[in-house]
Amino acid sequence: MVNPPNEEEFQLSLTTDTPAATDVVRDGILARVQAALGDKIVESLVKPGDDIWVRVRTESWRETAVILRNLGFSYFDFLSAIDWLPSPFGRGEDDPTEPAPVRDNTIRHGYTGGDTRIQMLARVVDPTTSMGINLKADVPDDNAHVESWTTVYAGANWHEREAWEMFGITFDGHPDLRHIYLPIDFEGFPLRKDFPLLARIVKPWPGIVDVEPMPGGDQDEPAQDGDAQ
């Protein structure tokens, strides 16, 4: 453990200067993508110096991939999903002897918003400029299915198999939708937030009772839950 630094010494290392308000390169890429995709885009976001996010309509998920690949985004990075429902089990650190705490279960979507609980998340990159786009699309709540990307990017095959078994999203047109990691008779979709992490439920997390003072740390101040510095 490093001794706590004094404030003046460390001002230099912090990124105190505000990032550039505009990013010409990424704005240019987004303009090109917007022109190509047209009204398929629901919402888009550029964080200057960081990344691009684009949310497209569910029904044009596959078409988006075709258009972007033809625009030069030929490198398939990954494909997955996000379940935006806050976990009903918290972080699995509830004391089993106490009554279960009341949790706020309103869905808060991330960048570019959303209307459904589960969203697709994928990333494609242009290998010549090394600029990528994070793509999102809503997955219908009642019947979770989107079009498959396998005919556009061959590498999507395994990623879609993984998303299918982990989130229960069906990919229309996928040639070989079967389990990749889990046993064939596995029930449930583990990465959905309402799937309990049983190891944390049958045995309380020992971190709850972590009161050992940190070596070399401030002895007066008791270590707190979630503090691993």
Partner 1 sequence: MTLLGDRQQLSYIASQAADARVNLELETEGMTLNIGPQHPATHGTLRIIARLDGEQVVWVDPSCGYMHRGYEKLTEVRTYPQVTALVNRIDWLGSFANEVPFILAAEKLMGIEAPLRAQHIRTILFELSRIANVSLFLGDLGVQLGAITPVFMAFRDREYVLNLIEGATGGRFHPNFDRIGGLKDDLPAGWIDETRTVMKKLRRFCDEIEDLLFGNEIFQSRTRGIGVIPRDIALQYGMSGANLRASGVDWDLRRDQSLPMAWDKVDWKVWTHPDGDSFARCWVRLQEVRESTRIVEQLVDTIPAGPVMTKVPRIIKVPEGEAWVCTENPLGEMGYYVVSQGDLGPFRVKIRSASFNNMSITPWLLKGVYVPDIVTILASLYFILGDIDR
Binding footprint of partner 1 on the chain (CB under 8 A): 1-2, 5, 7, 9-10, 12-15, 50-51, 53, 69, 74-78, 80, 82-83, 86-87, 91-93, 108, 110-111, 121, 123, 127, 130, 132, 134, 153-155, 157-159, 166, 179-182, 190-191, 193, 195, 197, 200, 205, 224, 226-229
- d(Cα 216, Cα 104) in Å, to the nearest integer? 38
Output 36 or 180, the one with its CB closest to partner 1: 180
Give me the least distance between CB of 140 and partner 1, in Å please.
20
- d(Cα 134, Cα 136) in Å, to the nearest integer? 7
Give me the least distance between CB of 145 and partner 1, in Å please.
20
- Helix (H) / strand (E) containing 166: helix 156-167
Give me the least distance between CB of 58 and partner 1, in Å please.
20
Give the torsion sign (CA, 216, 217, 222, 228).
Answer: negative
Output 59 or 197, the one with its CB closest to partner 1: 197
Output 98 or 104, the one with its CB closest to partner 1: 104
- Rounded alpha-carbon distances, angstroms, from residue 36 to 44, 60, 107, 113, 126: 14, 13, 31, 21, 15
Output 59 or 110, the one with its CB closest to partner 1: 110
Give me the least distance between CB of 163 and partner 1, in Å please.
10
Give the torsion sign (CA, 36, 45, 158, 61).
Answer: negative
Output 24 or 108, the one with its CB closest to partner 1: 108
Q: Which of 125, 150, 134 is nearest to 72 (CA)?
A: 125
- Taking the CA atoms of residue 94, residue 100, residue 106 and residue 107 in that order, the dihedral angle to the nearest 10 degrees is 40
Amino acid symbol at 29: I
- d(Cα 74, Cα 77) in Å, to the nearest integer? 9
Give me the least distance between CB of 50 and partner 1, in Å please.
7
Output 35 or 211, the one with its CB closest to partner 1: 211
Give me the least distance between CB of 10 and partner 1, in Å please.
5
